[in-house]
Amino acid sequence: MGPESCFDFVKLPKTDLHVHLEGTLEPEMLFRLAGRNHIPLPWKSPAMLREACRFRDLAGFLAIYYKGCEVLVTEQDFYDLARAYLERAAADGVVHTEFYFNPQLFCRESTPLAAIMRAIFCAMDEMRDRISSFYMGTVMRTRPVEEALRALDELAPWYDRIVAFGMGGAENGNPPSRFQRYFDACRERGFRTCVHAGEEGPAAYVREAVALGIDRIDHGNAAIQDPELVRLLAERRIPLTMCPISNLRLNVVNELSGHPLKRMLSRGVCVTVNSDDPAYFLGYASDNWAAVHRALDLSGAELRQLALNGVEASFLPEARKAVLREKIKRVLPSA
């Protein structure tokens, strides 16, 4: 596509709307925190952990991801994690991030929820001038819906700082519809809703998400198999937060040239590019842009549309959206 083929995607003002804070824990920090908290690890070094990041599927990844979460114990640990992620994302040209964090993973006597939330919000506030960020709560779909409702209740003291709630974890056998009460409760309390669907699960799970009135769907790859569903997503402009490198590493796609992102985009779906768990998938936001651009030979107009979709799909107020659109148009002017 001409000059953009060597485009430096760090310079593109980007959003990252599907990233798990726990999945930004780099191996070096993971080892440092394990050392200071005296937590034994199954790997001998950060390099060996990186070696272990050759996943067969989502389950294989989640096992290592949950293991990694064990080293996060003190308030300082959560602050260090959030601060490092926001610094890195800002340096990567991310102008706005909406990240997930799942307190269900850290229900331990030793770590009061208040300390965790204080740490994360403190890092967000300190970084405010360099990157805008929203916190999204999330729950595990492998646990009972009652537990999700309890997790939602437990975050009540911080509702004014939370924009949305989502759901992740092992997808197959755990359809969105099982969590209808949770999503209804989220909406009743004024939150936007998101759900991981169609990553390893079928198009039917994406359909369920649409039927549940979910605002934004994480991944959504399988929808490509249902042309009527693709039309529905396009018509309603229900965004998909796609994560190309994650999909490659978890064998959701065999190669990036077969990724459905470009086909969805051409059919008018509000698809966006995101990083998911960058420390484990070895790619941050700009790496995802570069990889998908290389594999799918995206045109300047497609790159611009993808970047603008990220702004549209965000939960930002209109005034900030307008500022970000202008930033994008300055870097990627229309032909």
Q: Find the shortest distance in angstroms from Cβ 61 to ligand HPA.
A: 7
Using CB under 6 A, which of 196, 262, 293, 304 touches ligand HPA?
196
| Residue 243: CB minimum distance to ligand HPA, A | 7
**Residue 138 beta carbon to ligand HPA: minimum distance, rounded to whole angstroms:** 8
What is the torsional sign of CA 164, 194, 127, 31?
A: positive
Among 16, 98, 199, 287, the residue binding ligand HPA under the rule CB under 6 A is: 199
Number of CB atoms found within 10 A of residue 43's CB: 17
- Our CA angle for 287, 294, 225, nearest 5°, is 95
Q: Are 17 and 310 in contact (CB under 8 A)?
A: yes
- In whole angstroms, how close is the CB of 20 to ligand HPA at the nearest point? 4
Asked if residue 93 binds ligand HPA (CB under 6 A), the reply is: no
Q: Which of 26, 171, 199, 200 is labelled catalytic?
A: 199
- State which of positions 157-176 bind ligand HPA (CB under 6 A): 168-169
Which residue among 13, 23, 68, 137 contacts ligand HPA (CB under 6 A)?
A: 23
Contacts of 79-84 with CB under 8 Å at 24 or more apart are: 79/119, 79/120, 79/122, 79/123, 80/29, 80/33, 81/21, 81/22, 81/24, 81/25, 81/29, 82/21, 82/119, 82/120, 82/123, 82/124, 83/123, 83/126, 83/127, 84/24, 84/26, 84/29
Residue whose Cβ sits closest to ligand HPA: 168
3-class secondary structure, 85: helix
- Clarify whether 199 is annotated catalytic: yes
Beta bridge partners of 276: 19
Question: What is the closest distance, in whole angstroms, from the C-beta atom of residue 202 to ligand HPA in the complex?
Answer: 15
State the residues that interact with Zn ion by CB under 5 A.
276
- How far apart (Å, rounded) are the C-alpha atoms in residues 153 and 72? 23
Whichever of 7 and 55 has its CB closer to ligand HPA, that residue is: 55
Which residue number is nearest to Zn ion in terms of Cβ?
276
Residues in 53-82 that interact with ligand HPA by CB under 6 A: 58
Which residues are near ligand HPA by CB under 6 A? 20, 23, 58, 168-169, 196, 199, 246, 276-277
Residues that are catalytic: 199
